[in-house]
Copies of this chain bind each other. A is one copy, B any other.
Amino acid sequence: MVTISSPPPNSRDKAKSLVLGLQDEICAGLESLDGEGRFKEETWDRPEGGGGRSRVMQEGRIFEQGGVNFSEVHGAELPPSIVNQRPEAKGHPWFATGTSMVLHPRNPYLPTVHLNYRYFEAGPVWWFGGGADLTPFYPYLEDARHFHRVHKKACDSISPELHKVFKPWCDEYFFLKHREETRGIGGIFYDYQDGSGILYKGQNKHGKAATISTQIGAHPKNWDELFALAKACGQAFLPAYVPIIEKRQYNQFGEKEREFQLYRRGRYVEFNLVWDRGTIFGLQTNGRTESILMSLPPLVRWEYGYKPSTGSREELLTELFNKPQDWLNDSTLDSKCDQYKAID
Contacts and interface: CB of A to CB of B under 8 A. Distances in A.
Interface stretch (A7-15, A145-153, A155-163, A268-276): A268-276
B305 A298 contact: no
A178 B292 CA distance: 10
Contact of A178 (B67, B270, B289): B289
B280 A274 contact: yes
A304 B269 contact: no
A266 B296 contact: yes
A274 B273 CA distance: 6
A158 to B, nearest CB: 35
Contacts of A273: 269-270, 273-274
A177 interface: yes
Q: Interface SS of chain A: helix, strand, loop or mixed? A: mixed
A290 B274 contact: no
A298 B303 contact: yes
Given A270-B273, A273-B273, A301 B304 contact: no
Contacts of A242: none
A177 B299 CA distance: 23
B177 A284 contact: yes
A30 interface: no
A299 B296 contact: no
15 contacts: A56-B305, A58-B304, A67-B304, A177-B284, A178-B283, A178-B284, A269-B269, A274-B274, A274-B284, A293-B302, A294-B304, A297-B302, A299-B299, A299-B300, A300-B302
